[in-house]
Amino acid sequence: MGKAPDPVRQPRPPPRGPRRGWILTAVVLLALALLAALLQSRPGSGAASAPAGHFVYYPDQLDKGSPYGKFPIPKDPFHFLPCTPATLPPPLDDDTPERTWAARFDPNPEHWSWANPRDDENGTMREDPYAGRGIFMCGYLDVPLDYTNKSDTRIARLAITKFQVSGLARVDDGAAHIYAGRKSERTIVIEPGGPGGSGTSYAWRFAQNITERFSDGKFDVLGWDPRGVNASLPAVACFPHDASRDHWSLLTSLHYAVAGSPRNQLELVDAMNAAVMRACWERHGDLGRFLGTGLVARDLEEIRIALGEDELTGYLVSYGTGIGQTYAAMFPNSVGRLILDGTEYVRDHRLRGGFGWTALDNATDAWDDGFLGECVNAGPEYCALAKPKDGKPVTLSGLKTRMDVLMASLASRPVAAYLPSSGPTLVTYSALVDSIYGAMYNARSWRALAQTLSELEDGNATLAALTLETSAWYYNPEAPCSPDPIPPSDYELGNLVICADSYDAPGRDDLDWWLSLWGNMTTKNWIAGNSRFYTVLPCRHFTTYWPQPAGVYRGDLNHTLKHPVLLIAETYDPATPLRNGRRLLQEMGTNARLIVHHGYGHSSRDTSACTERIAKAYILNGTLPDEQETDCYADEKPYLYGVKKTVGAAVLAKTQEPLEAWKEHLAELSFLDPRLRPGR
């Protein structure tokens, strides 16, 4: 291995360490207090009672360029600007990032991302089209790359997107309207999982839903891209072009069941993994040391401090629950109202291959009882696979046998197909099983999948081919190459996080052990086993390049927290089985409560009024059930979502176009498990 290039050029000014962060926060608060005092002494000012941590505007200081003044507001640790397409964090090699950033402020409110008007604000400021409307604010936060080494001045620059529910304060001439800044009393910090899921994208897509769901629209919602992810810098991609990654993916995604010689296939995939880890080293040097969950938890604490809130409020999902558990253990006195939904047990990350084999309990249950069982229950009107065969009604055992026959047939020979968009193509066992695994994350995709499998069974592979092609590649041959090429995907980031967390698990070199694990995992779970195995196998080569990742958390998870956390675990979760949530609860004891959410899919997306009620009371009021465990049941059944509410069959048919439904599903999947969802 050659000498590592310096992965992150040193920016100026030097980063804030945690202590400097405190000092800066104190300075900010002091400045705000002084400003507030100043305002109080001025007659006619309406902003006198702004509480600490809220920004206060005064026209004298502000550029009249926009009715809302000038952004970023001085000393705002997030440097927030109203989001526009230009508000991506400035590059790390920029010597004057704050100046570069400030120049990206677009003063025209018509270019900003406002939420829809809210009914309850009707009339208060009718002359202002943006009054009372939430707004998306974009910013960044610089954090130390290595919190454990004060002499390392490199930083990570985290991309931040905040949905501010009550919009912006307006600065009108004549001081008719001077408002205290519109920050809410608490901010719900969100993280969708992965590792590798983008919190900023999650905020764009779900922030308005999340603030309604958990706080009746009262609290702001903040998402961040964890270090290495998406718009945060440095971003981790180990291939220079997505097409280069795709070039190998057919070889490296072959399943155990169709591998011919599993040993030969393992040698090939393992060799490719060695090449990928080497490439990560060549492109990013020692960056791989600084991606583990322990450091991500410290970043989260920096976010809380920058928010100026005494305790963290959050909704963390999937792998995000691993960040949350680690955070709670490292910063027990900062824990406010934290929901961990789709709960993993982060201790499992410490085991060799643990992120993979501890996840397998229930994906096949979701297929058997859910995808097939609920299909039969819903009947042929709602599930294509329930249509009578040869004049006979469909039974569950009959349907199971049919699907076994279909999968066995694909394993022995793929089905040929033609698409105008891709030309000749194949429906393969490996690609179809990986898509089925993805579908188990979200029961709203099941109608489309049932339609696809039904047509495939009847000898028409067109829809199946279309379905598989939507997630076959990272490279999109139809995306325009100019003016700016799309940067390569950060796919490898997830592997580096998982591998950093398990770096000291013994016995990682033993290829025979991995071969045995592969067989065991696919035997235990034909849907999830292969995908999960390939996610952890690269760790065999991690310590070759990064033998000592920094800041990995190895302590207990049972610390006494300022407030108990609320865990939600699902009975049919294909990625974070209930068993893991229960094991976590066992360790956390009275520092946690668990909702056992009886429903399908990954995290509590199978909506239950009971879960919603408990979660809202917790986020809004801090109240929790007395019992350690509470059972909640999903309100509706798969295949029948919204059926009762729908007036006509025509409306129903319109919402169920299978390929569109599938694309919607893939968009959601990209947050929870980006590795299950190539293609953009």
Q: Which residues does 17 contact at the CB level (< 8 Å), separation at least 6?
A: 144, 147, 150
Cβ of residue 36: shortest distance to ligand NAG, in angstroms?
29
Q: Which helix (H) or strand (E) holds 338?
A: strand 335-341
CB 258 within 8 A of CB 411: yes
Rule CB under 6 A: is residue 670 a binding residue for ligand NAG?
Answer: yes
Q: How many CA atoms lie within 13 A of 100 on its CB side?
A: 15
φ and ψ of 82, to 5 deg: -60, 135
CA distance 333 to 22: 15
Residue 152 sits in the site that holds ligand NAG (CB under 6 A): yes
* Measured CA distances, 623 to 142, 278, 334, 605 (Å): 34, 50, 17, 22
Interface residues for ligand NAG in 159-178 (CB under 6 A)? none
- Closer to ligand NAG by CB, 28 or 222: give it: 222
Considering only 40, 96, 108, 122, the residue that binds ligand NAG (CB under 6 A) is 122
Q: Are 264 and 518 in contact (CB under 8 A)?
A: no
Is 246 a binding residue for ligand NAG by CB under 6 A? The answer is no
Q: Does 108 bind ligand NAG (CB under 6 A)?
A: no
Q: How far is the CB of 241 from ligand NAG (least distance, A)?
A: 16
Binding ligand NAG (rule: CB under 6 A), the pick from 78, 355, 446, 572 is 572
Question: Is residue 635 near ligand NAG by the rule CB under 6 A?
Answer: no
The answer for residues whose C-beta is within 8 angstroms of residue 573's C-beta and 6 or more apart is 342, 362, 366, 601, 602, 603
Question: Could you say which of 149, 476, 586, 590 contacts ligand NAG (CB under 6 A)?
Answer: 149
- Interface positions, 446-465, toward ligand NAG (CB under 6 A): 455, 460, 462-463
Distance of closest approach, residue 159 Cβ to ligand NAG, in angstroms: 7
- 330 closest CA partner among 356, 299, 363: 299
- Alpha-carbon gap, residue 47 to 16, rounded angstroms: 31
Q: Does 88 bind ligand NAG (CB under 6 A)?
A: yes
- CA-CA distance, 361 to 656, in Å (whole number)? 30
The rounded distance, in Å, linking the Cα atoms of 664 and 41 is 54
Tokens 């000498």 belong to residue: 3
Contact 345, 337 (CB under 8 A): no
Q: Is residue 191 within the footprint of ligand NAG (CB under 6 A)?
A: no
Closer CB to ligand NAG, residue 6 or residue 63? 6
To the nearest 10°, report the CA torsion of 113, 219, 341, 630: -150
Provide the minimum distance between the beta carbon of 47 and ligand NAG in the complex, in angstroms, as a whole number.
26
Is residue 632 a contact residue for ligand NAG (CB under 6 A)?
no
621 lines the binding site for ligand NAG (CB under 6 A)? yes
Annotate each residue in 389-428 with x if it binds ligand NAG (CB under 6 A) or - if it does not, as one string: ----------------------------------------
Residue 539 CA to residue 273 CA, distance in Å, equals 9
Determine, following the binding rule CB under 6 A, whether residue 506 of this chain makes contact with ligand NAG.
Answer: no
247 close to 212: Cβ distance less than 8 angstroms: no
Identify the residue among 558, 562, 610, 625 touching ligand NAG (CB under 6 A). 558
Residue count, binding to ligand NAG (CB under 6 A): 39
Q: Which of 387, 457, 383, 402 is nearest to 427 (CA)?
A: 457
60 binds ligand NAG (CB under 6 A): no
Which one of residues 218, 616, 637, 663 is an interface residue with ligand NAG (CB under 6 A)? 616
Among 577, 581, 638, 679, binds ligand NAG (CB under 6 A): 577
Indicate whether 620 belongs to the interface with ligand NAG (CB under 6 A).
yes
Residue type, 386: A
Interface with ligand NAG, residue 556, by CB under 6 A: yes
The smaller minimum CB distance to ligand NAG, of residues 124 and 412, is found at 124
Say whether residue 513 binds ligand NAG (CB under 6 A): yes
Among 13-21, 99-107, 468-476, 515-523, which window interacts with ligand NAG (CB under 6 A)? Answer: 515-523
Count of residues making up the chain: 680
Q: Which of 196, 191, 88 is nearest to 678 (CA)?
A: 196
- Contact between 6 and ligand NAG by CB under 6 A: the answer reads no
CB of 659 to ligand NAG, least distance (A): 8
Q: What is the DSSP letter of 143?
A: E
Identify the residue among 43, 123, 424, 480 touching ligand NAG (CB under 6 A).
123
Contact between 361 and ligand NAG by CB under 6 A: the answer reads yes
Classify 544 in phi/psi space as left (phi over 0), alpha (psi -120 to 50) or beta: alpha
Site string for ligand NAG, 305-344 (x = CB under 6 A): ----------------------------------------
For position 192 contacting ligand NAG by CB under 6 A, the verdict is no
Is the separation of the CB atoms in 78 and 96 below 8 Å? no
CA 404 to chain centre: 33
Strand pairing category for 423-427 and 415-419: antiparallel
> What minimum distance in Å lies between the beta carbon of 316 and ligand NAG?
17
Q: Measuring CA to CA, which residue among 90, 389, 83, 152 is closest to residue 290? A: 152
Binding mask 516-555 for ligand NAG (x = CB under 6 A): xx--x-----------------------------------
Using DSSP's 3-state secondary structure scheme, residue 416 falls into strand
Three-class secondary structure of residue 21 per DSSP: helix
The span of 76-84, 375-383, 614-622, 648-656 binding ligand NAG (CB under 6 A) equals: 614-622
Q: Which amino acid is at 349?
A: H
Q: Per rule CB under 6 A, is residue 231 in the interface with ligand NAG?
A: yes
Q: Does 127 bind ligand NAG (CB under 6 A)?
A: no
What is d(CA 539, CA 300) in angstroms, rounded to the nearest whole number? 25
What tokens appear for 573 in the block? 């979760």
- Mask of contacts with ligand NAG, 17-56, x by CB under 6 A? ----------------------------------------
Q: Determine if 213 is a binding residue for ligand NAG (CB under 6 A).
A: yes
Query: For residues 562 and 579, which CB has a smaller minimum distance to ligand NAG in the complex?
Result: 579
Least distance from ligand NAG to the Cβ atom of residue 224, Å: 12
Structure tokens at 627: 């019992």
Shortest CB 213 distance to ligand NAG, Å? 4
Antiparallel, parallel or unpaired: β 335-341 and 312-317:
parallel
**Gap between the Cα atoms of 165 and 183, Å rounded:** 8
Instruction: Summarize as ranges the residues that interact with ligand NAG (CB under 6 A).
Output: 88, 119, 122-123, 149, 151-152, 198, 201, 209, 212-213, 230-231, 361-362, 365, 455, 460, 462-463, 513, 516-517, 520, 556, 558-560, 571-572, 577, 579, 607, 616-617, 620-621, 670
